[in-house]
Amino acid sequence: MKKGLSNKTWLCILGGVMALCAAAAALVFLRMPKGAVAVVTLDGEEVHRVDLSAVTEDYELSFTGKSGITDVVEVAPGKIRVRQADCPDQVCVKQGWIGTGVAPIVCLPNRLVIEIADGAGKVDGVTG
Amino acid sequence: MKRAMVWGLLLCLALAGCAPQSAQRTIFAMDTVMELTVYGKDAEENVKAAAERINELEKLLSVTREDSEVWALDHAGGETVRISPETNALLRAARAVGEATGGALDVTLYPVVRAWGFTTGEYQIPDGGTLEELLKKVDYRAIRVEPDETGPANATLPAGAEVDFGALAKGYAGELCAGMLRGSGVESALLSLGGNIQTVGNKPDGSPWVVAVQDPAGEGGESLGTVELTDQAAVTSGGYQRFFEENGVRYWHILDPETGLPARSGLVSVTVVGESGTLCDGLSTACFVLGKDASLDLWRRCGETGLWPTHETTGMADEGGFDLILVGEDGVVTVTAGLRDRFRLDENTGHTLQIVEE
């Protein structure tokens, strides 16, 4: 006769897995953004993340990529922009504030991207 | 009792594992930022292959890299150059779109685009004489390719003329990668190539991909509406994407090959949806130049079938027609019949929707 695992052992495994599932669900739930969350990446690496609805006072951050170009990012209640950049084309600066939109701000020469990662109603992609 | 617990355990694992396997990659190529998302088994391997393919294409097709095939063609001084199947495919696609649109897309416009500074960001308004001189070299029909079929070929450009695939390369890259991914058994992928969207299949849950079309008038990159895609591409061209202002006049990067001036056709953006990303890319620029009436005429003529019967002209795997979303200066959003049930205008954008049935 082959000896299987006892009922008690199975109960333990089941309980353990369920606890893990619950923890994972809680983690996902707790990490859900309350408002529009802006994510700043530099050359594909996340360098700043902020819930724009929780911002009460303006602040600025500077990001210098490998190219040596510096983008000054301004964060304000509900919105974010590249205020100043020493890139030649100024496409990122001209784009102005974003907050509720779907299109990201991209400073190509500096490889800086600001995206709004929304909770509900998020689309899969943007053409524009 | 034991059996019930085993099932319970399996159910639990299934629920925990219900997020589909996926892999994502951000790459900077073709003068833009690209986000590639692939689902299913071997997602990591497949997304890596797609990224590598795009980097390969960039090396071939870049107009600024001195080791690219396009650079060799542009600087051959009238001599014949050996080209790859990829460059040939784009030349063939460029000719097909050029011919169908009366030259509204002309891939030899590059020297004029450079004169405006749109290639460097050092913007300026070229004087009439300069434009007239540069326009003499602009004519896609002067490109000779032998043999006149898909595959590697010999191409000759008149001395002083320069081609640039900026209006086609991203769509082509998306289309090629989508074909490659499908060939590897991928059933679900979203490739966002700097505002060019290429999809493979549907979302992992089986529903169509939902892609926002940017509102050309919106200040903060807002959404105008959404379009549902299945195994299709969506590409947008608009005057708001790259521009400069001088004395209160806005000059944008999409130029009319006829005049060398920013195209002012009454449209502020054009989105093309279809199976061939290359076609969508080329047509979005051409239709922006053509304006609403001529674009709808083109759709009536070729919307059902597309512009090329696939393998015969470009060697591309995809075929099929296209549909249009035209946004006018007057705030009217004109959508062709194939997107009747797939396009949804957002509320409170101040636009009105018009469906063109035929």
Place of tokens 């946004």: B327
Are the C-beta atoms of B209 and B178 separated by less than 8 Å?
Answer: no
pLDDT at A33 over 50: no
Indicate whether B6 belongs to any domain.
no
Verify that B84 and B203 share a domain, yes or no: no
Write out pLDDT tens, residues A36-55.
899 999 998 999 999 999 99
Total domains in the fold of chain B:
2
State the number of CA atoms in the 13 A half-sphere of A36 facing the CB. 18
Structure confidence at residue B218 (pLDDT): 76
- Mean local confidence (pLDDT), B139-148: 96
CB–CB contact B2 A4 (8 Å): yes
Structure confidence at residue B52 (pLDDT): 98
CB–CB contact B2 A104 (8 Å): no
Q: Taking CB atoms and an 8 Å cutoff, what residues of chain A touch B122? A: 88
Verify that B137 and B284 share a domain, yes or no: no
Indicate whether B280 belongs to any domain.
yes
Write out pLDDT tens, residues B96-128.
999 999 999 999 999 999 999 999 888 999 999
Query: Does B238 contact chain A (CB < 8 Å)?
Result: yes
pLDDT at A120 over 50: no
- Mean local confidence (pLDDT), A4-21: 77
Write out pLDDT tens, residues B170-209.
999 999 999 999 999 999 999 999 989 999 999 999 999 9
Verify that B125 and B212 share a domain, yes or no: no
Q: Check residues A19 and B325 and name the one with the higher pLDDT.
A: B325
- Report the range of poorest mean pLDDT among B119-133, B198-212, B214-228: B214-228
Indicate whether B61 belongs to any domain.
no
Instruction: Kindly report the pTM of this predicted structure.
Output: 0.86
- Mean pLDDT (chain B) is 92
Verify that B251 and B313 share a domain, yes or no: yes
- Of the residues B12, B227, B268, the best mutation for testing chain A's interface (the one with the most A CB atoms within 10 Å of its CB) is B12
pLDDT at B8 over 70: no
Please report, for the domain that includes residue B114, its CATH number.
1.10.3980.10
Please report, for the domain that includes residue B250, its CATH number.
3.10.520.10
The percent of residues above 70 in pLDDT, for chain B, comes to: 92
Structure confidence at residue A4 (pLDDT): 65
Structure confidence at residue B253 (pLDDT): 96
pLDDT at B236 over 70: yes
Q: Taking CB atoms and an 8 Å cutoff, what residues of chain B touch A22? A: none
H or E segment and range at residue A33: none
Indicate whether B82 belongs to any domain.
yes
Q: Which amino acid is at B1?
A: M
Determine the Cα–Cα distance for residues B161 and B255; give it in Å rounded to an integer. 17
Verify that B192 and B142 share a domain, yes or no: no
Q: What are phi and psi of A4, to 5 degrees?
A: -90, 180
Verify that B206 and B283 share a domain, yes or no: yes
Residue A39 burial (CB < 10 Å; 0-12/13-18/19+)? middle
Verify that B222 and B339 share a domain, yes or no: yes
CB–CB contact A102 B223 (8 Å): yes
Distance from CA of A127 to the nearest CA of B (A): 4
Q: Which of residues 86-115 of B touch A (CB under 8 A)?
A: none
Distance from CA of B145 to the nearest CA of A (A): 33
The residues spanned by each domain of chain A are 1-31, 37-117
From B98, B125, B156, give the residue that closes a domain: B156
Q: Taking CB atoms and an 8 Å cutoff, what residues of chain B touch A87? A: 121
Topology (CATH level 3) of domain A37-117: mini-chromosome maintenance (MCM) complex, domain 2 (2.60.320)
CB–CB contact B222 A17 (8 Å): no
Q: Which of residues 29-48 of B touch A (CB under 8 A)?
A: 31-33
- Residues with Cβ within 8 Å of B168's Cβ and at least 6 positions away in sequence, in order, are B90, B93, B94, B97, B107, B278, B281, B282
Determine the Cα–Cα distance for residues B94 and B96; give it in Å rounded to an integer. 6
Please give the ipTM for the structure prediction: 0.87
Verify that B210 and B104 share a domain, yes or no: no
Q: Which domain range does residue B319 map to?
A: 176-356
CB–CB contact B214 A102 (8 Å): yes
Structure confidence at residue A77 (pLDDT): 95
Verify that B319 and B184 share a domain, yes or no: yes
Distance of CA B73 to the CA centre of its chain: 22
Verify that B181 and B233 share a domain, yes or no: yes
Verify that B283 and B149 share a domain, yes or no: no
From B103, B124, B156, give the residue that closes a domain: B156
Indicate whether B151 belongs to any domain.
yes
State the number of CA atoms in the 13 A half-sphere of B239 facing the CB. 25
Structure confidence at residue B6 (pLDDT): 65
Give me the total of CB pairs closer than 8 Å, taking one residue from chain A and one from chain B: 128
Verify that B140 and B187 share a domain, yes or no: no
- Report the range of poorest mean pLDDT among A13-17, B224-228, B288-292: A13-17
Q: Check residues B308 and B250 and name the one with the higher pLDDT.
A: B250
CB–CB contact A127 B16 (8 Å): no
Indicate whether B36 belongs to any domain.
no
From B123, B156, B189, give the residue that closes a domain: B156
